[in-house]
C-alpha cells in the first residue's frame, strides 16, 4: 500500500510522521510533485501558511495538490493546514478551497495566548467525549458550509471538521496523547484516490 505523505516544507511535520508510523502506517515526507504522486493521502501540518505557499510555488505543488484533492485524495490539515484548505481566509491569502469553511488566522491570539484546552468530541470518534486541544497561534473557523461535519468544538467554535475526505483541525492533535484524529484520517485514506 502506498505511504501517507506529510508536507515537509515548514512546520513540525516530523511529529505527524511519528504519529502515523506509531499507528502502523508508512509515512513519507512530501516536498515535490514527484513525492506527492507517490502517496495515497497527505497531512498538511501546522507552521506558517504564507511561508508554505511560497515554498510550494517553485515546484507547482499547490496546483498539483489541488488536483489530487479534487480527485479524492484524503487530506488532514492542522492549524496552518486548515488555513491552506479553507475556502475563505482572513486576512486574505491564496488557499486550496477544499474545505467549505471561513477561517481567521491567529484568531485566538499570538504565541503568548497559546493554550491547552478541553475540547468536546462527537461520539463518532469514540470515547471519551473530551480531548486535549493544543492551540498555538490557532486559526478560528467562523463559518462552516452545510456539507461540513463538525467533529469537535471548543467554547462553541468548531475546531475539528470534515468534508468528504478532507479533515481540518485548528489545533495540534499530533502534540497530544489522543490519536483519534489521525486514526480517523487514516481510515479515510486507506485507498488511494486522485
**pTM of the prediction?**
0.94
Candidates 182, 172, 177, 189; CA nearest to 82 is: 172
Q: Residue 25 — φ and ψ, nearest 5°? A: -105, 155
Q: Is residue 193 part of a domain?
A: no
Residues identified as active-site: 79, 172, 174
Q: Is residue 111 part of a domain?
A: yes
Q: Is residue 50 part of a domain?
A: yes
Q: Is residue 137 part of a domain?
A: yes
For residue 108, the model assigns a pLDDT of 65
Q: Is residue 39 part of a domain?
A: yes
Domain coverage including residue 170: 4-188
Q: Is residue 70 part of a domain?
A: yes
DSSP letters, the chain, are: -PPEEEE-SSSSHHHHHHHHHHTT--EEEE-SHHHHHT-SEEEE-SS-HHHHHHHHGGGTHHHHHHHHHHTT-EEEEETHHHHHHEEEEES-------EEEEEETTTT-SGGG-EEEEEEE-GGG-S-SEEEEEESS--EEEEE-TTPEEEEEETTEEEEEEETTEEEESS-GGGSS--HHHHHHHHHTSS---
Q: Is residue 108 part of a domain?
A: yes
How many separate domains does the chain show? 1
For residue 156, the model assigns a pLDDT of 93
Task: Supply the CATH number for residue 157's domain.
Answer: 3.40.50.880
For residue 113, the model assigns a pLDDT of 54
For residue 86, the model assigns a pLDDT of 97
pLDDT tens-place values along the chain, 194 residues long: 889 999 999 988 999 999 999 999 999 999 999 999 999 999 999 988 989 999 999 889 999 999 999 999 999 999 999 999 999 999 999 899 999 999 998 766 555 457 889 999 999 999 999 999 999 888 999 999 999 999 999 999 999 999 999 999 999 999 999 999 999 999 998 866 65
Q: Is residue 125 part of a domain?
A: yes
Amino acid at each position: 500500500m502506498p505511504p501517507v505523505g506529510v508536507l515537509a516544507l515548514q512546520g513540525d511535520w516530523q511529529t505527524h510522521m511519528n504519529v502515523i508510523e506509531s499507528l502502523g502506517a508508512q509515512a513519507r515526507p512530501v516536498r515535490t510533485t514527484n513525492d506527492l504522486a507517490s502517496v495515497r493521502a497527505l497531512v498538511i501540518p501546522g507552521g506558517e501558511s504564507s511561508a508554505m505557499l511560497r515554498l510550494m510555488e517553485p515546484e507547482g505543488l499547490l496546483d498539483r495538490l489541488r488536483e489530487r484533492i479534487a480527485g479524492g485524495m484524503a487530506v488532514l490539515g492542522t492549524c496552518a493546514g486548515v488555513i491552506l484548505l479553507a475556502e475563505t481566509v482572513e486576512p486574505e491569502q491564496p488557499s486550496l478551497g477544499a474545505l467549505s469553511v471561513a477561517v481567521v488566522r491567529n484568531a485566538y491570539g499570538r504565541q503568548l495566548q497559546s493554550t491547552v484546552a478541553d475540547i468536546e468530541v462527537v461520539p463518532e470518534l469514540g470515547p471519551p467525549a473530551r480531548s486535549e486541544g493544543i492551540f498555538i497561534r490557532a486559526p478560528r473557523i467562523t463559518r462552516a458550509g452545510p456539507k461540513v461535519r463538525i467533529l469537535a468544538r471548543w467554547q462553541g467554535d468548531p475546531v475539528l471538521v470534515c468534508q468528504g475526505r478532507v479533515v481540518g483541525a485548528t489545533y495540534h492533535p499530533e502534540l497530544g496523547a489522543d490519536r483519534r484524529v489521525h486514526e480517523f484520517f487514516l481510515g479515510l485514506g486507506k485507498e488511494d484516490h486522485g
